[in-house]
Amino acid sequence: MAYGEALILQRGVARARISGVFDEDLLLLVEHPPVVTLGRSSKDKHLLASPALLASRGVDLHEVERGGDVTFHGPGQLVGYPIVDLKRHKQDLHWFLRRVEEALIKAIVPLGLVGDRSAGFTGVWTGGRKLASIGVHARDWVTWHGFALNVTTDLTYFDLMVPCGIAEVQMTSIAKELGRADDSAGNLGRLVRSEVVDAFADVFSLEAAVLDPSDLMRVAATTQSA
């Protein structure tokens, strides 16, 4: 799904969660065409490519309301948007960020990877290399935006920026760490998606159930604009 379409969708779902039209938390999982997003803390110097260069490589550019700096989304990446009402959990965004990190750390254990945190930064690392980026926004204690987990991502896209504003950070992917360059059948992607769903349900003490995307889009589209 194109990033702009997904942004409209998650904002609509968040409004529906705030209003009570959706009475349970949701996790939207998508894959985007190449796009660079600039969060509220973005610095101009952290985007190393001009808009013209990005366009020449087929990369969209969006400024958004999430926290954090500049990052990349694209093919081979599992992007998750947790629409969570923190009034049902804990009204603390820092707590929420640590829970998202914990879910991703749990999700990669069955794959044979050990995830950890880096002091002073948000995200998930493995072996000192950054595997997942996280940036969120909230209104009335309902969250949107979320995480980007590199599965089979082309990591050269990160050369267009200082990822998340962290100098000299080394980005990695699950496929790279496992030495599985070929995922043409999509088996690794499906496995990661399944583990992420289970881990989020566990960390947030929820039961996972799949919604029909068309129903989700229909309800989100009928909510009034914020």
| Active site residues per annotation | 164
**Could you give the strand order of the β-sheet that contains 70-73, starting from the edge strand earlier in sequence?**
60-63, 35-38, 70-73
Q: Judge contact between 110 and 104, C-beta under 8 A.
A: no
- CA-nearest of 164, 168, 163, 161 to 50 is 161
Burial class (CB in 10 A: 0-12, 13-18, 19+), 103: buried
In this structure, the strands spanning 26-30 and 35-38 are unpaired
Beta partners for 166?
none
In sequence order, the 6+-apart residues with CB closer than 8 A to the CB of 217 are: 9
b/e 197-208 (16+ beta carbons within 10 angstroms → b): bebbbebbebee
